[in-house]
């Protein structure tokens, strides 16, 4: 397959937000990349929410990533060292790969900006969208996701900020990222759906949770789309997946 040409006429993504984080007021930006080779999600539009003034690795080791990830336990503990990332970081995202490359491209003014509802809606038109490939989309004002999804054909979304009154969390749109079965149970009682990482798939709560179909059948997210909150599928089961990714060795269930 021929590589897509990267140019002003053929952008690989758009800046759809640049402004204060709802979580702590620090400057963040959100880029929606148009294509993905992610072997789990398939070719969905992916949003990346990052601290503007620091690379994602520097933001991790100094704790600046509270602006785009909030109080997520998988951020690890800041080291304030000269290099490296937060200690014990259990997040599945490898910062030195896509997040760092996207931050550098943004920093070099490589992405045009989609301004206003019509322009942002056009980015998502006719496509399926993953909110939060890295970072928590609920750190961004809700009108951005409203516009991006307004003409999209579906979405997936996850957030650790369901209890943060400052965040733009909406249980109809987001799966609540639940770090314990107790957190999940409380969410279910409120009519929310959850996404939970477990040590073993046998930990799924019968009648409430099912295993991610990518894990069980190799189904791509773009073909499944069950992780879209409680709005469209209020009776659907919540999702569990075995621990995976770059930070798995630091995960504590």
Over 90: is that where the pLDDT of 46 sits?
yes
Q: Which residues of 144-175 are buried (b: 16+ CB within 10 A; e: fewer)?
A: bbebbbeebebbbbbbbbbebeebbbbbebbb
Per-residue pLDDT, 1: 38
Percent of the chain residues topping a pLDDT of 70: 92
Q: How many CA atoms lie within 13 A of 159 on its CB side?
A: 29
pLDDT band at 133 (very low <50, low <70, confident <90, very high): very high
Per-residue pLDDT, 244: 59
DSSP notation for 199-214: SSGGGSPTTTEEE-HH
pLDDT band at 243 (very low <50, low <70, confident <90, very high): confident
Per-residue pLDDT, 249: 56
pTM for the model: 0.92
Over 90: is that where the pLDDT of 97 sits?
yes
Per-residue pLDDT, 188: 97
The CA distance from 133 to 45, in Å, is 9
Per-residue pLDDT, 181: 96
Average pLDDT over residues 74-100: 96
Residue appearing with tokens 């369901």? 162
Average pLDDT over residues 106-112: 97
pLDDT band at 215 (very low <50, low <70, confident <90, very high): very high
Over 50: is that where the pLDDT of 233 sits?
yes
Per-residue pLDDT, 143: 98
Q: Which residue has the higher pLDDT, 233 or 48?
A: 48
Average pLDDT over residues 50-55: 98
Average pLDDT over residues 59-82: 97
Over 80: is that where the pLDDT of 37 sits?
yes
pLDDT in tens, 152-176: 999 999 999 999 999 999 999 999 9
Percent of the chain residues topping a pLDDT of 90: 88
């Amino acid at each position: 397959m021929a590589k897509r040409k990267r140019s002003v006429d053929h952008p690989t993504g758009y800046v759809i937000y640049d402004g204060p984080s709802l979580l702590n007021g620090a400057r963040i930006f959100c880029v929606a990349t148009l294509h993905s080779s992610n072997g789990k999600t398939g070719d969905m539009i992916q949003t990346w929410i990052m601290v503007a003034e620091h690379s994602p690795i520097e933001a991790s080791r100094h704790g600046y990533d509270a602006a785009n990830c909030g109080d997520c336990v998988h951020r690890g503990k800041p080291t304030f060292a000269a290099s490296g990332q937060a200690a014990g970081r259990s997040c599945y995202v490898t910062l030195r790969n896509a997040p760092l490359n996207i931050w550098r491209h943004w920093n070099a003014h490589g992405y045009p900006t989609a301004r206003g509802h019509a322009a942002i809606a056009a980015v998502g038109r006719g496509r399926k969208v993953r909110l939060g490939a890295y970072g928590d989309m609920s750190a961004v004002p809700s009108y951005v996701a409203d516009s991006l999804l307004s003409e999209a054909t579906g979405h997936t979304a996850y957030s650790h900020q369901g209890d943060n009154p400052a965040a733009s969390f909406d249980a109809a749109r987001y799966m609540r990222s639940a770090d314990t079965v107790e957190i999940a149970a409380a969410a279910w009682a409120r009519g929310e759906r959850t996404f939970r990482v477990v040590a073993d798939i046998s930990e799924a709560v019968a009648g409430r949770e099912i295993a991610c179909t990518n894990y069980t059948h190799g189904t791509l997210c773009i073909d499944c789309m069950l992780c879209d909150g409680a709005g469209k599928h209020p009776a659907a089961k919540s999702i569990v997946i075995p621990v995976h990714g770059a930070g798995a060795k630091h995960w504590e269930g």
